[in-house]
Chain A
Amino acid sequence: MFDWKWDFTWEILPRLVYATGNTLIAAGAGYVIAVVLGLMLALAQRTPSRGLTFTVREFVEFIRSTPLILQIFFVFYVGPQFGVRLSPWMSGMIAIGLHYACYLSEVYRGGIESVPKGQWEAAIALNMTTAQKYRRVIIPQAIPPALAGMGNYLVGIFKDTPMLSVIGVAELIHTANAIGSENYRFLEPYTMVGIIFLAISLPAAGLIRLFEGYVRRKLGL
């Protein structure tokens, strides 16, 4: 490549590595929120209350069909209008966690629905309480079929973290923008960001597949 400057690349690399850390933290924290909240959203759709099921369903549909970047802006700017000031990190984590919680709730729902009816009946026959039934019979069997989807969304959340740059979270793209405008050079920072994304998401996808196979073998499937 004719205009690539290696010395500049080495000079900006430490800042990009630092930003990669922030990106990974954002993806990790967002994913933890999504995993927990998603389970709640999935279980809320299984209560006997029709109204609750309907409301949660529509909410999940709404979040899933509107852009994450708009949700990030919404969370960040609407708070201050009502006197609640959230830091960029805080609002970013809420928005991205909630967005992916809705996706994960669908994955869980699919997993729970894939547990054969006989298992539910057996749990009732053993006189288990609802909590016991889910914790000891249903959820352990619902996890293996849900693993592939969960893994895909882990990589998905990582690839969506650049949207947090718009409210000032110092992740990779935010740092690359800053480097670019300080030095009037965009080739190296943006290309390096692309390479860093590839270097993380491709092995991560492979590792997730290995982990999935391991869990399946462990559970004797």
Chain B
Amino acid sequence: MGLYDFLAQYWPRLLTGAGITVAQFLLAAALGVAISLCMGLMKLSQNALLRGAAVTYIEIFRGTSLVVQLYWIFFVLPLFGLTIEKFTAGYLAVGMNIGAYGAELVRGGILSVPKGQWEAALAINMSPAQRMRRIILPQALVNMLPPWGNLMIELLKGTALVSLISVADLMFEARQINSSTFLSAQVFGAALLIYYVLARFLVTPFMRWLERHMARKLGRT
């Protein structure tokens, strides 16, 4: 069966799967960004306890594999009375994993803001929270956006792992179709192409647009 005939027959299932993949991606991205910001700021805190908590979080999630984290959240947490539905467990694991990598980017971005900006904010009598929100973070964001583009691609690829706990994403649908038809080249080839299109023509252009947009907002064009 050629790729065209194959797609004509199976496109609804691949499309449904791609929809779930996109949903997982968006939810995990939102969670990942929130965690990155939180952990990145905590790692720069004066308080040793907050700093220690952030370092522990980052090292645990960067030091173990996403598959291990996913299985732990899905199979082990219920033993502690915390049962999480598989769809939720999926984006939770992926988002928490990406959050640990993102935290380092946030930290680097904040440290890259010149010292004069901190002093200027202090000089005009801003509170630390105001200074962070209105002076430091916007500039840090522009500096760290390029590596975030790569991280978002890693996040998209990471969502393929949620198929291991049977979330019916694109990867899962591809495996199902493969095991009932054995048209491996067609189904896996089509799935690879869909992931490529999502990464190259949606995620990357959006991140590029965001970079330009933020730079313009700060008057750096």
A: residues with CB less than 8 A from B are: 3, 61-62, 64-71, 73-74, 77-78, 80-82, 159-163, 165-166, 173, 176, 180, 186-187, 190-191, 193-194, 197-198, 201-202, 205
Contact = CB atoms under 8 A, between A and B. Distances in A.
A160 B185 contact: no
A70 B195 contact: yes
Contacts of B33: none
Contacts of B158: 67
A74 B161 contact: no
B192 A70 contact: yes
Scoring A74, A81, A166, A202 by chain B CB atoms within 10 A of each residue's CB, the highest score goes to: A74
B196 A66 contact: yes
A78 B178 CA distance: 10
Contacts of B175: 73
Contacts of A161: 65
A139 to B, nearest CB: 26
A201 B64 CA distance: 7
Given A190-B71, A197-B65, A65 B184 contact: no
A81 B62 CA distance: 37
Contacts of A201: 62-64
A13 B194 CA distance: 41
Given A65-B196, A186-B79, A160 B188 contact: no
Nearest to A4: B79
Interface of B: 59-60, 62-69, 71-72, 75-76, 79, 153, 156-158, 160-161, 163-164, 171, 174-175, 178, 182-185, 188-189, 191-192, 195-196, 199-200, 204
A70 B191 contact: yes
Contact of B188 (A74, A159, A163): A74
A64 B195 contact: no
B63 to A, nearest CB: 4
B195 A190 contact: no
A69 B161 contact: yes
A70 B192 CA distance: 7
A81 B6 CA distance: 15
Contact of A74 (B66, B67, B189, B199): B189
Contacts of A71: 192
20 contacts: A3-B79, A64-B153, A66-B157, A67-B156, A67-B157, A69-B171, A70-B171, A71-B192, A78-B184, A81-B183, A159-B64, A163-B161, A173-B67, A173-B68, A187-B76, A190-B75, A191-B72, A194-B72, A198-B59, A198-B63
Closest 6 CB pairs of A and B: A67-B160, A77-B184, A65-B199, A162-B67, A197-B64, A67-B157
Contacts of A205: 63
Nearest to B200: A65
Given A66-B192, A194-B72, 11 more contacts: A65-B195, A70-B195, A73-B188, A74-B189, A74-B192, A77-B188, A162-B68, A191-B72, A197-B64, A197-B65, A198-B63
B157 A81 contact: no
Nearest to B72: A190
B68 A194 contact: yes
B196 to A, nearest CB: 5
B22 to A, nearest CB: 14
